[in-house]
């Protein structure tokens, strides 16, 4: 049983090891059929700068976490946020941010969906294709070229385990995450794939080289980010890929009117898969997600297409309106 003395010791330990609390935002847009994340430059000229996510400390003037996040993002990037949801709290024991003054750093992460606007503000901000950081997640043009080398190294890592039970657990994880050893690829397991690459030592962050990478690393496992921001981004992508299947959040990324082709390209960009055109349109119609307008595209670059808009009434009509994704094909 826990004694009063033990409780006191835990309390004293917490006071002697305080934590800094910060906020970090994964701000997503979909522009011209590409998924984009808003990034800022983190670090100093002397120590080197790298891509990171908009972030800042929680200060007393912010009455709530979300209002603090909105204030920081607007100040750093001039981007006003619409749809926002809390994502996760990152607080591993060895986590320490540059601005934490030696304190253990906790970050409350949020996912925000916006339409891309010109960036600005206190920090150098820019929109980046999120597959720049997680290239193995993009299957729209078939199996990613770098995945073969990644899988070879992961299989070698599993074989390195001398204990048969540990080797079997590693193989099971390869099946669940990368579809190896008889498993299947699940587009939602973005975070699990990133964490497995980290554990296997196949990405620079595993050696403490956040934001740094050799040419071979860039070609195979993509661009690292500052601190643990690539892990935060992977968490957000997995959450969004799952959510678009049962909530119409994708329309937060669309203009007021759009074509069905533009909608399909956006869903494909987020999910990293190709979708069968007729099946996708049939699904949209069955779910009652959009309604036609009287307008059509100009037809300057092709045949004019009917413009549609999101039907907000669907939120009241269906308990889980979303896209049940069925890839057109999954290359071996």
Contact 248, 318 (CB under 8 A): no
CATH number belonging to the domain at 14-131, selected among 3.40.47.10, 3.90.79.10, 3.30.70.1560, 3.40.50.300: 3.90.79.10
**CA 278 to chain centroid:** 28
Measured distance CA(144)–CA(4) in Å, rounded: 57
Number of Cβ within 10 Å of residue 272's Cβ equals 22
> What is the pLDDT, as a whole number, of residue 180?
92
Interatomic CA distance for residues 56 and 72, integer angstroms? 6
Tell me, yes or no, if the two domains 14-131 and 249-317 fold the same way. no
Looking at 1.10.10.10, 3.40.50.740, 2.60.120.10, 2.70.98.70, the CATH number of the domain 249-317 comes to 1.10.10.10
Report helix, strand and coil shares of the chain as percent, to nearest 5.
Answer: 40, 20, 40
Give the model's pLDDT for residue 332. Answer: 52
Say how far residue 246 (Cα) sits from the centre of its chain: 18
Domains of the chain by residue range: 14-131, 134-224, 249-317
C-alpha gyration radius of the chain: 22
Q: What pLDDT does residue 17 have?
A: 43
User: Within 10 Å of residue 48's Cβ, how many Cβ atoms?
Assistant: 11
Sites in the chain below the pLDDT cut of 70: 1-19, 44-47, 60, 92-104, 118-123, 299-302, 325-332
Query: What sign for the dihedral angle of Cα 203, 209, 211, 215?
Result: negative
What pLDDT is attached to residue 8?
35
Residue 69, pLDDT score: 82
pLDDT of residue 4: 43
């Amino acid at each position: 049983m826990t004694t009063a003395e033990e409780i006191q010791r835990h309390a004293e330990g917490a006071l002697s090891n305080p934590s800094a609390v910060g906020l970090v935002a994964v701000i997503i847009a979909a522009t011209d059929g590409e998924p984009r994340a808003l990034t800022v430059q983190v670090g100093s000229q002397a120590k080197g700068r790298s891509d990171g996510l908009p972030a800042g400390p929680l200060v007393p003037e912010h009455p709530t976490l979300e209002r603090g996040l909105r204030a920081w993002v607007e100040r750093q990037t001039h981007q006003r946020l619409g749809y926002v949801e809390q994502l996760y709290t990152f607080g591993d024991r060895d986590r320490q941010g540059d601005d934490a003054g030696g304190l253990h750093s906790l970050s409350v992460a949020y996912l925000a969906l916006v339409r891309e606007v010109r960036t600005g503000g206190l920090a150098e901000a820019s929109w980046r294709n999120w597959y720049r950081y997680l290239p193995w997640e993009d299957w729209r043009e078939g199996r990613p070229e770098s995945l073969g080398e990644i899988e070879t190294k992961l299989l070698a890592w599993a074989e390195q385990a001398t204990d048969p039970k540990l080797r079997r657990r590693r193989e099971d994880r390869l099946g669940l995450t990368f579809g190896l050893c008889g498993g299947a690829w699940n587009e939602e397991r973005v975070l699990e794939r990133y964490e497995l690459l980290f554990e296997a030592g196949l990405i620079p962050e595993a050696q403490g080289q956040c934001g740094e990478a050799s040419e071979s690393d860039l070609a195979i496992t993509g661009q690292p980010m500052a601190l643990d921001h690539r892990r935060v981004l992977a968490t957000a992508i997995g959450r969004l890929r799952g959510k678009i299947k049962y909530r119409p959040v994708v329309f937060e990324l669309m203009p007021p009117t759009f074509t069905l082709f533009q909608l399909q390209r956006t869903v494909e960009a987020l999910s990293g898969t190709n979708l069968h055109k007729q099946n996708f349109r049939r699904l949209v119609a069955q779910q009652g997600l959009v309604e036609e307008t009287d307008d059509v595209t100009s037809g300057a670059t092709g045949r004019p297409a009917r413009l549609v808009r999101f039907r907000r009434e669907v939120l009241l009509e269906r308990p889980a309106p979303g896209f049940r994704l069925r890839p057109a094909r999954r290359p071996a």
